[in-house]
């Protein structure tokens, strides 16, 4: 009789436990009480069992979190780009729109196959709501199929315009934050034309990054009256480009454009210097980090390149809309990782975080994390992002533009005295 009485009392207490549920914390308290009652009493009436089932359902809903799968090249040839991206993820918000956000970080070791394997693991095993990454153009291009097949939105941290254009059935799920090679190539061609350059030699990676840069530069060079007199290629892991440098040198161009990224971009400039080349040397925005300066040293002195404004945020005029955002990111990053450690690559991840902070609350109105409805709503919300002021520029995305940056996202800089100098 006493045992039956306690069971009846338990059934009476359970509704009261649920009546006090108003938030995630109260849900947890209510469920803990339910569980305590479960283990205290051996028998329950039907009403109690139904309430226990409800408790488990409520707990499952309350514990849902937004999962962001991050793929970066924190080792391998692109590590100087991927490490600041990985470091920046630690600075991104852990709660957005009242929901917990967890970041699952995987390293693709600068390898395209590894990147695809990582992406499939994230969508199939971790059930992520978004893929952030990866670092390099070839690997990002390979991830497009994974994003489209799984209907998981993806924000790439690589440069090539081919990652997002054309916005077809597959690229409908793909976005990016770095400036495209097209935007940056236009800045280089304009600077060349204004500084007396007539002929150009090109040496770049023998992959999608290098080919994309050559294609975009050829298009804008013709409009500026620039003639490309020599083109050469090399692999990211090559240790010598002497043969290619000799061919470029023999063509005697007024300037040389190096279509490479990270530390491997030092190699051609060093080889040209050793041959006695005296013309102007241009790099891409793929070299805008401290490792390039550290490894290159005097060999990269004088190089011109387009870069995101965050690289020289403290040199920007007060009227520049990205200055405040860039300085804030620089402070957060350098407070954690040391003075002069910031790079444009980490800021691409930061800008992705700013876009998500606007898009996620919108998507939460249409679906719960972990569901196809939420992923589709998140894709739509990212595509609808307007006037997001980032460290690199102002993002206005649309159905036909999955980057949303314009000429305000670039500045021309020169390596002077081992650091970056904004060119007026």
Query: What are 365-409's pLDDT values in tens digits?
Result: 999 999 999 999 999 999 999 999 999 999 999 999 999 999 999
Are 377 and 333 in contact by the 8 Å Cβ rule? The answer is no
Task: Please identify which residue in the block is written with the tokens 């007199």.
Answer: 229
| Residue 6 resides in a domain | no
Distance, in Å, from the CA atom of 173 to the CA atom of 178, rounded to the nearest integer, reads 17
Q: Are residues 354 and 295 in the same domain?
A: no
Higher per-residue confidence, 23 vs 309: 309
| Residue 40 resides in a domain | no
User: How high does pLDDT run on average in the chain?
Assistant: 90
Burial call 309-348: b when 16+ CB within 10 Å, e when fewer: bbbbbebbeeeeebbebbeebbeebeeebeeebbbbbbbb
Q: Are residues 267 and 289 in the same domain?
A: yes
| pLDDT of the residue at 89 | 98
| Residue 37 resides in a domain | no
Q: Are residues 197 and 301 in the same domain?
A: yes
Strand order in the sheet with 95-96: 95-96, 99-107, 66-72, 130-133, 154-156, 174-176
Q: How confident is the model at residue 12 (pLDDT cuts 50, 70, 90)?
A: very low
* CA proximity to 154, closest of 133, 139, 128: 133
Q: Are residues 236 and 291 in the same domain?
A: yes
Name the residue range of residue 141's domain: 66-179+322-395
| Residue 291 resides in a domain | yes
| Residue 424 resides in a domain | no
Per-residue pLDDT at 52 exceeds 80: no
Q: Are residues 165 and 227 in the same domain?
A: no
Q: Are residues 125 and 185 in the same domain?
A: no
CATH number of residue 240's parent domain: 3.40.50.2300
Q: Which two tokens stand for residue 167?
A: 């916005």
Per-residue pLDDT at 415 exceeds 60: yes
| pLDDT of the residue at 10 | 44
| Residue 48 resides in a domain | no
Per-residue pLDDT at 126 exceeds 90: yes
| Residue 262 resides in a domain | yes
Backbone dihedral angles phi then psi of residue 366, each to the nearest 5 degrees:
-115, -10
Task: Please identify which residue in the block is written with the tokens 């390039």.
Answer: 292
Query: Where does a domain end: 252, 276, 307?
Result: 307
| Residue 333 resides in a domain | yes
Distance, in Å, from the CA atom of 230 to the CA atom of 232, rounded to the nearest integer, reads 7
Distance, in Å, from the CA atom of 365 to the CA atom of 97, rounded to the nearest integer, reads 10
Q: Are residues 249 and 293 in the same domain?
A: yes
Distance, in Å, from the CA atom of 179 to the CA atom of 394, rounded to the nearest integer, reads 11
Q: Are residues 293 and 351 in the same domain?
A: no
Q: What is the total count of domains within the chain?
A: 2
Q: Are residues 85 and 107 in the same domain?
A: yes
Which residues does residue 226 pair with via DSSP β-bridges, in sequence order?
none
Per-residue pLDDT at 51 exceeds 70: no
Distance, in Å, from the CA atom of 70 to the CA atom of 106, rounded to the nearest integer, reads 6
Average pLDDT (291-300) is: 96
Q: Are residues 209 and 170 in the same domain?
A: no
Average pLDDT (300-327) is: 97
Q: Are residues 384 and 272 in the same domain?
A: no
Provide the percentage of residues in the chain whose pLDDT is more than 90.
84
Average pLDDT (79-83) is: 96
Q: Which range has the worst mean pLDDT, 41-55, 68-82, 315-329?
A: 41-55
Q: Give per-residue pLDDT as tens, 200-243.
A: 999 999 999 999 999 999 999 999 999 999 999 999 999 999 99
Query: Where does a domain end: 275, 307, 339?
Result: 307
Q: Are residues 169 and 189 in the same domain?
A: no
Q: Which two tokens stand for residue 243?
A: 């043969």
Are 403 and 418 in contact by the 8 Å Cβ rule? The answer is no
Distance, in Å, from the CA atom of 349 to the CA atom of 148, rounded to the nearest integer, reads 21
- For residue 358, the Cα-to-chain-centroid distance in whole angstroms is 16
| pLDDT of the residue at 340 | 87
DSSP secondary structure letters along 185-253: HHHHHHHHHHTT--EEEEEEESSHHHHHHHHHHHHHHHHTT-EEEEEEEE-TT-S--HHHHHHHHHT--
* CA proximity to 29, closest of 341, 37, 189, 94: 37
Query: Where does a domain end: 307, 336, 357?
Result: 307
């Amino acid at each position: 009789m006493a045992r039956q009485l306690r069971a009846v009392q338990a059934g009476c207490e359970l509704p009261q436990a649920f009546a006090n549920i108003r938030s995630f914390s109260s849900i947890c308290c209510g469920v803990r009480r339910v569980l305590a009652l479960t283990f205290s009493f051996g028998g329950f009436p039907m009403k109690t069992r139904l309430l226990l089932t409800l408790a488990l359902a409520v707990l499952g809903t309350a514990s849902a979190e937004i999962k962001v799968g991050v793929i970066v090249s924190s080792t391998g040839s692109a590590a100087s780009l991927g490490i600041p991206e990985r470091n920046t993820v630690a600075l991104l918000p852990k709660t957005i729109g009242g929901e917990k956000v967890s970041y699952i970080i995987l390293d693709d070791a600068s390898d395209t196959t590894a990147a695809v394997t990582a992406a499939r693991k994230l969508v199939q095993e971790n059930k992520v709501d978004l893929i952030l990454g990866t670092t390099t153009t070839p690997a990002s291009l390979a991830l497009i199929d994974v994003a489209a097949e799984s209907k998981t939105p993806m924000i790439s941290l690589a440069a090539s315009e081919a990652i997002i254009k054309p916005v077809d059935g597959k690229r409908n799920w793909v976005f990016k934050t770095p400036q495209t090679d097209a935007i940056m190539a236009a800045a280089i061609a304009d600077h060349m034309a204004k500084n007396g350059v007539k002929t150009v030699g090109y040496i770049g990676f023998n992959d999608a990054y290098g080919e994309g840069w050559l294609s975009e530069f050829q298009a804008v060079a013709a409009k500026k009256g620039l003639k490309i007199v020599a083109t050469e290629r090399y692999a990211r892991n090559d240790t010598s480009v002497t043969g290619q440098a000799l061919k470029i040198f023999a063509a005697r161009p007024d300037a040389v454009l190096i279509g490479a990224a990270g530390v491997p971009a030092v190699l051609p400039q060093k080889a040209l210097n050793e041959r006695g080349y005296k013309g102007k040397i241009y790099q891409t925005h793929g070299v805008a980090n401290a490792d390039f300066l550290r490894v290159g040293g005097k060999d990269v002195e004088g190089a011109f390149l387009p870069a995101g404004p965050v690289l020289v945020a403290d040199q920007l005029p007060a009227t520049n809309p990205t200055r405040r955002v860039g300085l804030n990111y620089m402070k957060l990053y350098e407070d954690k990782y040391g003075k002069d450690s910031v790079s444009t690559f980490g800021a691409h991840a930061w800008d992705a975080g700013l876009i998500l902070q606007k898009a996620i609350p919108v998507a939460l109105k249409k679906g719960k994390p972990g569901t196809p409805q939420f992923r589709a709503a998140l894709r739509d919300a990212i595509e609808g992002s307007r006037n997001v002021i980032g460290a690199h520029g102002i993002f206005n995305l649309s159905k036909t533009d999955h980057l949303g940056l314009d000429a305000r996202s670039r500045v021309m800089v020169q390596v002077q005295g081992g650091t970056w100098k904004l060119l007026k």
